[in-house]
Structure 1
Amino acid sequence: MSAIATIDISRWYAGGTEADAVAAEVDEGLQRAGFILVTGHGVDPDLAARVRAASREFFALPTEVKARYSVPVGGHGWLGPGAEANAYAEGTESPPDLKESYSLGAETATGDAEVDQVWFAPNVWPTEVPSLQALVTEYTAAMRQLSDDLLALFAHALGLPTNPFVTLADRPTWTMNINHYPPLTVVGAPEPGQFRIGPHTDFGTVTVLDREPGAGGLQVHSASAGWEDAPWQPGALTVNIGDLLEHWTAHRWPSGRHRVLPPQPQAPEEDLVSLIYFYEANHDALVTPLQPPIGKVTDLHPVTTAAFIKERLDAITVK
């Protein structure tokens, strides 16, 4: 039996005793692995399919064309192969991850040039794929709504009288990475210790992932099961909590540790695209850890979102 619980969030939307029951299941599931598989979310799977198709158009462009949109880690644009090594966030030196990404983010500028340059920089849209902007804009709006709903559910799961993220995430930072994992026939045999994405945890509050299953796919780590292939269902979304939410719950819920396996010899032509929405909170939000009996530890201090996330982004950048 998988350590990752499947949660039908339509039961939360229904309210009443069903909402209480699903909240208890969420608490139990997140304590196990920091991951849940979410169904009943109401996001049209055809929208994700159209985003994925447009993204494949971009990734199929010649490298010199994609390079026009090249940005460093944390920027909005193309992150080419070799830009990231996510295992560095755990202190593990590893070869660069076997992927390329197109990254986008929130544009709700504050008027403070230094803040906006880092957290609310304008998105860059490839003119070669004109459909991408409207599709991603629609998709990220749906992800923002779902992420807010999940945080409300999580607050209920912890027995809190109100949801603090109503104010802590009313002008949030977020990032969407469209990750392309090329096939073995393109990238060649992986180096020792090399992954499509090395073992790591995410940095923010909630990550919502729409992925394609594969031999070189997502694995999740839990204390009870070790590394296991993440469950997948058509139309379901994989949700995990990040370091900031782990900090807020004072380690009641572990930040979901995961990795994406390298391309496998038995599937040399496997070519995958994942849509990952990383939700955070307001850049200046002060996140105060919950005290026992909800929280599990008492030695944590309040953190500001921007400083907390930036430290982790810097750690994964290949120098």
Structure 2
Amino acid sequence: MRPDLSAVPIVDLAPLVHGGPDKRSAARAIDEACRGSGFFYVVGHGVDEALAARIDALCRAFFAQDLDRKLEIRMEKAGRAWRGYFPVGGELTSGKPDIKEGIYFGAEHGDDHPRVRAGLPLHGNNLFPDLPGFREAVLAWMAEMTRLGHVILEGMALGLGLPASYFAEHYTADPTILFRAFHYPPPHDASEGWGVGEHTDYGLLTILRQDDAGGLQVKSGGLWIEAPPVPGSFVCNIGDMLDRMTGGQYRSTPHRVHNRSGRNRISLPFFFDPGWDAKIQAIDMGRADGRAGERWDHQDVHEFRGTYGQWLLGKVAKVFPELGRTAGVT
């Protein structure tokens, strides 16, 4: 039976969160979504709505500040750690400036962490704004999203006919986590362009909390469809590395954002990805189908050989070219 590609499906995670006999039915729903559009909403996830409301409110308070205040935690201050704030136009997608501003966060690495001492990019301490409760809320949010990431990947493993712990054992025992808070200001006119242009995500799984402004579009079945806000849900999509591991049976689907609401849009994507040193290998699922000619970037992810850290560095250096040069990544 062909999947319905006209709408993003909704998956109830409650059986996976709480356990029980319906766990595999939730896993089948995830599997069908990943083989179809590559996007799905999740409900029944167990994330505290009060925490979600708090992180949303704090991010809105940060972005409402004057630019000079926001630049106090600009990304350049974090150096190789690639954390902190960037202004509108400071991030590139397919070489074009996005109409959004944002803050990057990641796992907290102390100065004595071996990778920090070695000067490895994307490792270090976060830069937090001087807003009461901001640091605590972000760290709590990343912990909750990490928990949820493990739950969803357990469902994916079961849907693929693998042991529930497959991804945890092979890739995410020490996951690479990135949390980003984005603000898409309302465009001056309809022709101004995309908040973020067509792209796919880099790793395993993206978990997105979007507000009620809308604007997210997904390329499904060759057509662009809307992924409108669903109250109490997260939008999930798979990334290039899961496409690579499954030989193209799970699709890293292109998506884009155009804020047409006439008001500010807040987007909170969390990226739950393989460990930095994890070697990316195909799961034995048959012949790969990379679709290099069909991808937005004409790249065949199935040709990649190496660790996830190597893949990620190459990608991030294209999004922030100046920081890539600073870190010695080309």
> What TM-score does the superposition give when structure 2 sets the normalisation length?
0.84
Q: Give me the identity figure in percent.
A: 30
Moved more, 9-18 or 139-148: 9-18
Alignment match, 1:75: 82
Alignment match, 1:204: 203
Q: Distance in 2 between matches of 1:302 and 1:163?
A: 24
Maintained 8 Å contact 2:200/2:240: yes
Maintained 8 Å contact 1:106/1:172: no
Deviation, 1:161, is 2.9
Alignment match, 1:49: 53
Q: Does 1:244 align with 2:247?
A: no
Report the CA distance shift for 1:116/1:207 in structure 2 as closer, same or farther (over 3 A): farther
Q: Does 1:66 align with 2:67?
A: no
What are the within-5 Å matches in structure 2 for residues 67-216 of structure 1? 67-71=71-75, 75-86=82-93, 88=94, 93-94=95-96, 96-108=97-109, 110-113=113-116, 117-127=120-130, 129-167=131-169, 168-184=171-187, 188-189=188-189, 194-214=193-213
Maintained 8 Å contact 2:195/2:257: yes
Maintained 8 Å contact 2:16/2:151: no
Report the CA distance shift for 1:252/1:70 in structure 2 as closer, same or farther (over 3 A): same
One-letter amino acid matched to 1:53: A
Maintained 8 Å contact 2:81/2:124: no
Q: Distance in 2 between matches of 1:53 and 1:227?
A: 30
Q: Distance in 2 between matches of 1:311 and 1:301?
A: 12
Q: Distance in 2 between matches of 1:74 and 1:276?
A: 19
* Greater RCO, CA 8 A, separation 6+: 1
What are the within-5 Å matches in structure 2 for residues 265-304 of structure 1? 267-268=261-262, 270-293=263-286, 296-297=288-289, 300=303, 302-304=305-307
One-letter amino acid matched to 2:149: S
Deviation, 1:309, is 1.2
Alignment match, 2:293: none
Alignment match, 1:307: 310
Report the CA distance shift for 1:300/1:18 in structure 2 as closer, same or farther (over 3 A): farther
Q: Distance in 2 between matches of 1:81 and 1:65?
A: 15
Q: Does 1:227 align with 2:224?
A: yes
Q: Distance in 1 between matches of 2:234 and 2:18?
A: 19
Report the CA distance shift for 1:301/1:311 in structure 2 as closer, same or farther (over 3 A): closer
Report the CA distance shift for 1:74/1:200 in structure 2 as closer, same or farther (over 3 A): farther
Report the CA distance shift for 1:25/1:123 in structure 2 as closer, same or farther (over 3 A): same
Q: Residue deviations 1:150-178, cap 9 Å, x none?
A: 11111111001353322321222111100
SS in 1 for 2:36: helix
Query: Structure 2: where are the runs of 5+ without partners?
Result: 291-301, 323-330
Deviation, 1:45, is 1.7
Q: Residue deviations 1:279-318, cap 9 Å, x none?
A: 112100012111234x644965643100111111122236
One-letter amino acid matched to 2:205: V
Give the CA RMSD over aligned residues: 2.3
Query: Structure 1: where are the runs of 5+ without partners?
Result: none
Q: Does 1:8 align with 2:7?
A: no
Maintained 8 Å contact 1:36/1:238: yes
Maintained 8 Å contact 2:103/2:181: yes
**When the two structures are aligned, how many residues end up with a matched partner?**
301
Maintained 8 Å contact 1:119/1:173: no
One-letter amino acid matched to 1:198: G
One-letter amino acid matched to 2:217: Q
Deviation, 1:141, is 0.4
One-letter amino acid matched to 2:219: H
Alignment match, 1:39: 43
